[in-house]
Amino acid sequence: MRRGFVTGLVSLVVLSLPLVGSAANRDSYNQLNLFGEVFERIRRDYVEPVDDEKLIEAAINGMLQSLDPHSSYLDAKGYRDMQVQTRGEFGGLGIEVTMDTQLGLVRVISPIDGSPADKAGVKPNDLIVAIDGEQVQGLTLADAVERMRGPAGSNIVVTLRREGLAQDFDVNITRAVIPVDAVRVEAKGSIGYMRVRSFNERTDEQLEDGIAKLERETGHMTGLILDLRNNPGGLLDQAVAVSDAFLEQGEIVSTRGRDPQAVQRFNARAGDVIHGLPMVVLINGGSASASEIVAGALQDHGRAVVLGTKSFGKGSVQTLIPLPGHGAMRLTTSRYYPPSGRSIQAKGIGPDVVVDQPIVSPLGVVIHPRSEADLRGHLENDQEPTTPATALPDDAKPEQVQPGAAKPGDAKPGATAPGAQPAAPVGNPPVPGSDEDYQLQRALELLRGVALFNRQRDNALALNG
């Protein structure tokens, strides 16, 4: 790449500037000249040869990431990977990750249910310190993800750091092709349990199939539990479709961009797939974005009781804009609002019934939820300004962290005690849908109580009729 490329790039951008506000345009021109000067100095004087394309991509990504935690640049491979994931199948460990920019380590958002990472014991908020013995510090998130992917059946050793443990520890994982079943269902007596893990292109179809399966297994379904816990979100149209499945009419969500007049509204169509049966929606601090759209719509319409703990609070919409010949940019283009018009950005959805999930932890370990409001550079709530963010990772959505006697910096990266075995996990939450799932048990009790009340009412009406 010659110097002329940079000069041409700057000229192209300057020519695209509007012919108004000449002072502002002059300032933009000067800044672009500064960019070109820094670029040339790096190419000429950096201690090692550099790849021009990577420098340009890094600059673009830095520009986008400076806007908010969810805007970013995807190179061609990253764009292809995202398309694969939204289609509902991808290869690797089955783990949602983000980059902790303070520590320079990869932080786990959450493992996908039933994935190799989940089976190996990887937990939300774990830090990935090394991959096959190679330190993660110094790698980009894309580089780290690339190293974790590989042919199905191949093995990988991931070194984890977990709050509450004094030492890092290794986890052996066998890679697999991960077909993401977005929806899992199970009959709990006469009550249906439906866990929606993600919102990909297949979620609405799998929801309909799941309802049909529950109706067969229960014989006569009396209620439904929709579990959105630790669901980080996904496609907006799928959030609308899932909400629409349980609503007869009314607004589901509205989005509003920079232009106050540019408001888009999504409305429900007639037809409730469970014909008005009582519903409970489970949420927690890992329920984000599309999950919050569904929970907010069903709550505002009084269609379901929301139970659990406050959701993550990501009230913004990102548009994926393809860049022909390159990758794509993921740009925050609007905020979304539940039917009531309230903004949940950096605030979250508050449950109607607050039920914490008990977790066994060592004495002195306190569990603190983290949310959108904790992310550096997050968008403020336009209706209720939030408290300035503390210094936390830039796109993390973990449900919880567990500060204990040992802090992340207490152990050196990759260090393990001589001859020591990996320590037992600290504060493991119960498996969603299991008998130990306290929040689920409270939801079942609630629906059974409603069913009992309805039977007694019907019996009384028949007696007096």
H or E element that contains 134: strand 134-135
SS3 (DSSP) at 384: coil
For this structure, is 300 an active site residue?
yes
Beta strands in 211-301 (DSSP E): 223-227, 251-256, 263-267, 279-283
CA distance 369 to 160: 20
Residue 106: closest CA among 154, 146, 75: 146
Q: 71, 289, 343, 371: which is the annotated catalytic residue?
A: 289
Q: 100, 300, 374, 395: which is the annotated catalytic residue?
A: 300
Which amino acid, residue 365?
A: V
Residue 433: closest CA among 425, 443, 424, 423: 443
CA distance 297 to 339: 6
Could you give phi then psi for residue 44, rounded to 5 degrees?
-85, -40
Residues 6+ apart with CB under 8 A from 233: 198, 199, 239, 288, 289, 290, 291, 292, 314
Residue written as token pair 């970013």: 72
Residues 6+ apart with CB under 8 A from 267: 249, 250, 251, 252
Query: ∠ CA(183), CA(189), CA(192), 5° rounding?
Result: 25
Task: Return the half-sphere exposure (C-beta side, CA atoms, 13 A cut-off) of residue 464.
Answer: 6
| 223-227 and 191-196 strand pairing | parallel
Length of the chain: 465
For this structure, is 243 an active site residue?
no
What angle, rounded to 10 degrees, do the helices at 22-45 and 52-65 form? 140
What angle, rounded to 10 degrees, do the helices at 3-15 and 22-45 form? 160
SS3 (DSSP) at 302: coil
For this structure, is 54 an active site residue?
no
Q: 310, 314, 347, 397: which is the annotated catalytic residue?
A: 314
CA distance 100 to 395: 8
CA dihedral (388, 140, 138, 392) in degrees, to 10, reads 20
Residues forming the active site: 289, 300, 314
